[in-house]
């Protein structure tokens, strides 16, 4: 791209077609830190009904007669709905010449890879980071004036809050753990007890415990205080919750606001994200904005999240607000 000349939009899009396989979709960038521990559901253009059999019991003593009274259980449907999201960029390419040169110098791109492709990838990278920051806290708004990314779909924490309000998650149902606030003095005992109170069928599984940054820091501080850590041992590197025989893996993340103490326990296959085609997440395409020296591009895709089941055999959350403002209703 010769920045002294008007931008040739057709040439940019030809470059995207020619080198498109080099572009990395937003699902493989920053937000992949979350999505890698979730399960994808593809080919969704509007919604898909999910469901898992719960409470199944089919075995009994044989008495020579087929009774036909047992069944596989009850399927509790939950709907995964995706909503359209658009990523738009419009800027003067000249501003990013230095960044592009730095990327080349760092070996991120070979010299034959054009500046146009780098601009498209830069936009995709930003969109991925923005989705990371929204994936738990987003709350769908139908107000036409609400145009933020966080207004686009219901994130994981929003779904949890709505289910608590609806009484689907509660202490009585066994999928809400209520034991006060977490601090550096009690973090280890708190998290271990939360895991131990799960049904045996969940404790026998390999599960993930999602810890926001503040809680993971408290757990690391607790671990340091409880152990005589040798020099050069990083106590923050604990991959599994102590006392779980490596059945409970710790997932540290900062996709919730500072101060949040929301802890989630579930299997990877129970946390679902949905979209149509994964290729949509890197389909950034330039278009003519009317200003020959401004680079304008856009990418549109659909996205949504859901839990397949919130039964206590599959899922648990503590009663701390995702916003960091205290406890939720039990």
DSSP string, 85-128: EEEEEEE-GGGGHHHHHHHHHTTSS-TTS-HHHHHHHHHHHHHH
Q: Show Cβ contacts of residue 77 under 8 Å, excluding neighbours closer than 6 positions.
A: 49, 50, 51
Find the length of the chain.
330
- Give the other-Cβ count within 10 Å of 107's Cβ: 7
Tens-digit pLDDT profile for residues 145-161: 999 999 999 999 999 99
- Phi/psi at 174 (5° precision): 80, 5
3-class SS of residue 44: coil
Concatenate the DSSP letters of all residues of 37-74 into one string: TSEEE-S-SSEEEEEEEES-B------SS-----BS-E
Cα distance from N-terminal residue to C-terminal residue, the chain: 59
Residue-wise pLDDT tens digits, 309-322: 999 999 999 999 89
Is a pLDDT exceeding 70 seen at residue 90? yes
Spatial contact of 54 and 283, defined as CB atoms under 8 Å apart: no
The partner residues of 273 in beta bridges, in order of sequence, read 40, 305
Q: According to the CATH classification, is domain 1-53+73-227+236-330 in 3.30.70?
A: no
Average pLDDT, the chain: 88
Q: Which residue has the higher pLDDT, 329 or 113?
A: 113
* Domain range annotation of the chain: 1-53+73-227+236-330
User: Is residue 247 pLDDT above 80, yes or no?
Assistant: yes
Which range (9-13, 58-62, 123-127, 151-155) has the least confidence? Answer: 58-62
The answer to whether 9 touches 287, Cβ cutoff 8 Å, is yes
**CA atoms of 305 and 324, how far apart (whole Å):** 21
DSSP 252-282: EE--S-TT----EEE-GGGEEEE-S-GGGGG
| Interatomic CA distance for residues 73 and 269, integer angstroms | 20
User: Could you give the residue ranges of the DSSP H alpha helices within the chain?
Assistant: 9-19, 32-35, 97-105, 115-134, 156-165, 187-196, 200-203, 213-226
Closest CA to 185 of 216, 225, 158: 225
Q: What is the pLDDT of residues 32-60, one digit of tens each?
A: 999 999 999 999 999 999 977 665 566 66
Angle between helices 115-134 and 9-19 (to 10 degrees): 70
309 CA to centre of own chain: 17
Please answer whether residues 284 and 299 qualify as being in contact, where contact means their C-beta atoms are separated by less than 8 angstroms. yes
**Cβ proximity of 155 and 137 under 8 Å:** yes
Cα(187)–Cα(123) distance, rounded to whole angstroms? Answer: 39
Q: Does the pLDDT value for residue 282 go beyond 50?
A: yes
Q: Please give the structure tokens belonging to residue 10.
A: 């057709």
Contact by Cβ (8 Å): 264, 224: no
User: pLDDT at position 64, please?
Assistant: 75
pLDDT value of position 176: 98
Residue showing tokens 């809050």: 161
| Residue 324, pLDDT score | 74
Summarize the confidence of residues 129-143 as an average pLDDT: 97
User: For residue 231, what pLDDT is reported?
Assistant: 67
């Amino acid at each position: 791209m010769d920045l002294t000349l008007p931008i040739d939009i057709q040439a940019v899009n030809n470059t995207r077609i020619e080198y498109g396989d080099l572009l990395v979709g937003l699902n493989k960038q920053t937000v992949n830190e979350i999505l890698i521990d979730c399960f994808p559901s593809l080919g969704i253009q509007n919604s898909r009904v999910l469901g898992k059999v719960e409470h199944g019991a089919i075995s009994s003593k044989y008495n020579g007669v087929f009774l036909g009274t047992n069944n596989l259980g009850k399927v509790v449907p939950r709907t995964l709905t995706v909503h359209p999201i658009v990523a738009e960029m419009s800027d003067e390419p000249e501003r990013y010449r230095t960044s592009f040169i730095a990327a080349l110098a760092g070996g991120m791109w070979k010299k034959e890879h054009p500046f146009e492709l780098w601009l498209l990838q830069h936009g995709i990278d930003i969109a991925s980071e923005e989705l990371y920051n929204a994936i738990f806290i987003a709350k769908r708004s139908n107000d036409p004036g609400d145009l933020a990314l966080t207004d686009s779909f219901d994130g994981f924490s929003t779904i949890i809050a709505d289910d608590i309000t609806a009484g689907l998650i509660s202490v009585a149902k066994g999928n809400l753990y209520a034991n006060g606030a977490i601090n550096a003095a009690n973090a280890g005992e708190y998290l271990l007890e939360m895991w131990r109170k799960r049904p045996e069928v969940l404790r026998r599984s390999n599960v993930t415990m999602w810890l926001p940054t503040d809680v993971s820091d408290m757990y690391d501080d607790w671990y340091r205080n409880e152990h005589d850590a040798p020099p050069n041992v990083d106590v923050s590197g604990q991959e599994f919750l102590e006392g779980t025989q490596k059945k409970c893996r710790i997932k540290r993340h900062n996709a919730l606001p500072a101060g949040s103490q929301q802890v989630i326990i579930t299997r990877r296959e129970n946390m679902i994200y949905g979209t149509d085609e994964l290729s949509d997440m890197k389909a950034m395409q330039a278009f003519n904005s009317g200003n020959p020296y401004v680079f304008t591009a856009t990418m549109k895709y659909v996205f949504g999240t859901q839990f397949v089941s919130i039964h206590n055999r599959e899922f648990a959350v503590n009663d701390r607000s995702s916003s960091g403002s205290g406890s939720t209703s039990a």
